[in-house]
Amino acid sequence: MNRTIVKQVASLQIILGFVMMVPAIVALIYSEWYSLYGFLISGVITACIGFLLYTSVRDTREPEYKHALIIAALGWLMIIIVGGLPYFVIAQMTPFSVMQQFVPDGFNYQSSLLYFKNPLHCIFESTSAFTTTGLTMSVHEPSVGKAVLFYRHFSQWIGGAGFIVMALAIFRQIPGQGSILLYGSEASGTKLKTTVIQTARSIWKVYLVVTAAMMLYIGVGTYFILPDYPLSENIFDAINHAMAGQSTGGFSTLDDSIAGYQSIKMDMLFLLPMLLGGLSIPFLYRFIFMKKFSEVWTDIQTRAIIVVSMVGGIILSLLLYNSEEVANPIREGVFQFLSALTTTGWQTSNINAWDDLSVLFIVVGAMVVGGSAGATVGGIKIIRALLLQKGLRWHISKIFLSKNTVKTIKFNKEILYSEEMNAELARAGIFTLIYLLFVFISTMLTLFYMSPDYTLADAIFESASAQGTVGLSTGITDPSMSPILETVYIVQMWAGRIEIIPVLVLLRALFYGTKPRII
């Protein structure tokens, strides 16, 4: 394997090893000794292997574009596989009697840690966490212990900003064009500073500031809305939900996601973290640090998300009202549409009880579209959706222009000539086609392997949720699901996080190598 690829993937494993060791602090605070040992063992093994590989490879070349894409695909694949190690180790080490101590008082179900004795479930949970999806094998989340709960949310938070972005901010061994290519393989490609290293650090600066603000916002809001809620639980929830919200990950510390609070005011409280998570980090940087407040409306993606959230929430509420299947159509419609559009995945409604029209609307109008490019969201990204609709209007309008007219189009504050617009449309169109093809194939497999209790609309919804790293579920995703279907969703979440193309490049390299081929 190319030495440059090995070195960069090894650097990601070093970071992953330290990420695994952070939850050991939480395990120490809550006296969860088996979890403490599990995180330390997993972290040390992962970091040491990464360090040995990193130091054994010397004199590496600057990565080319093809290398950057392979590093993104292979690096993330190793992260989601190895990232499942703590779940497996802790599940194997923890006695059943200790597991059952994690089950809240008054309940008699078995601890969900038992499910992580299955290695595939561990990889699924790790994939869902690091890709910020939110589908889970933890049927009863509180029963896995505080340390594992924190690891799930911390994984989402780290994965949201990106491992390659973090590696660039920490390891400075890739200068110039190589760092630009690596940054572009995972992030939006937007530079906030003169160098990519400075840009990566600025991204983390924004990420930290917004997350800290949301911790305070959720904690204080919960204190006033639910004054009887235990303060220690409030603080723990606020930390974890802030990380899940900013990363649009959708994991929760509660058994029924945000619905567990059983409060309409709490539902409203969590709208802001979802909205902020769906906005691009470059926009947040300009808004917070450069004081460009007008960009709330002048930034094309931010304006679109605000408008689509309001309109889509109203339409979904009306559909749920007409279906007569939902007790609180406005409350659930507004919350679930924003959750789907930002691909956060927090859930307050039994989507399995929805009518097919409501399910298909939220899939097409929100989950497939996704939030802003440059954010932590999945989907095709709202900028591509805007480009495709603008391109369609442009192609129709230019038919009526004279032959001598210079055909240009204004999009996102830029003037594009015909050739440039066609190139942008081709890239957006090809990506969208591949994206929908992934969803279609997954839907067919879901129909074949799912329980007969579910419908075609449920299959489409679950497949779109995995591909868009959304995390909302109709109930198909479950520890009892087919291992083949579970593997399909793992591949979808992996491909959805890095936008598919790096996965296809990796497959091409595995089958044909990196040498050019005439097609």
Q: Mean pLDDT across the stretch 85-112? A: 95
Indicate the pLDDT class of residue 406, thresholds 50, 70 and 90.
low
Q: What's the pTM?
A: 0.94
Checking if the pLDDT of 182 tops 80, the result is no
> Both tokens of residue 345?
């995945």
pLDDT value of position 318: 95
Of the given ranges (160-169, 318-327, 478-487), which has the lowest mean pLDDT?
160-169
DSSP string covering 447-492: HHHS-TTS-HHHHHHHHHHHHTT----SS--STTS-HHHHHHHHHH
DSSP string covering 426-442: HHHHHHHHHHHHHHHHH
Indicate the pLDDT class of residue 184, thresholds 50, 70 and 90.
low
Indicate the pLDDT class of residue 66, thresholds 50, 70 and 90.
confident
pLDDT value of position 131: 95
Q: Which of 377, 388, 464, 378 is nearest to 427 (CA)?
A: 388
Between helix 231-246 and helix 146-161 the angle, nearest 10°, is 30
Of the given ranges (164-178, 216-230, 292-306), which has the lowest mean pLDDT?
164-178
The percent of residues in the chain predicted with pLDDT above 90, rounded, is 71
CB–CB of 16/163 below 8 Å? Answer: yes
**C-alpha span between 477 and 450 (Å, rounded):** 9
CA distances from 336 to 384, 489, 492 (A): 22, 21, 22
Kindly report the three-state secondary structure assignment for every residue of 331-381: HHHHHHHHHHHCCCCCCCCCHHHCCHHHHHHHHHHHHCCCCCCCCCCCCCC
pLDDT digits (tens, 9 = 90+) for 239-282: 999 999 999 999 999 999 999 999 999 999 999 999 999 999 98
Task: List CB contacts of 424: < 8 A, sequence separation 6 or more.
Answer: 387, 391, 411, 416
**C-alpha span between 58 and 493 (Å, rounded):** 33
pLDDT value of position 398: 79
**C-alpha span between 24 and 3 (Å, rounded):** 33
Of the given ranges (85-99, 373-387, 483-497), which has the lowest mean pLDDT?
373-387
The owner of tokens 């945000």 is 258
pLDDT value of position 98: 96
Q: Which of 66, 108, 47, 114 is nearest to 87 (CA)?
A: 114
The CA angle 17-466-206, to the nearest 5 degrees, is 55
Measured over the CA atoms of residue 250, residue 252, residue 255 and residue 261, the dihedral's sign is negative
Q: Count CB-CB contacts under 10 A for residue 517.
A: 7
Checking if the pLDDT of 220 tops 70, the result is yes
Checking if the pLDDT of 491 tops 80, the result is yes
Residue type, 290: M
**C-alpha span between 396 and 399 (Å, rounded):** 6
Q: Mean pLDDT across the stretch 24-45? A: 97
**C-alpha span between 249 and 471 (Å, rounded):** 8
CB–CB of 455/467 below 8 Å? Answer: no
Indicate the pLDDT class of residue 227, thresholds 50, 70 and 90.
very high
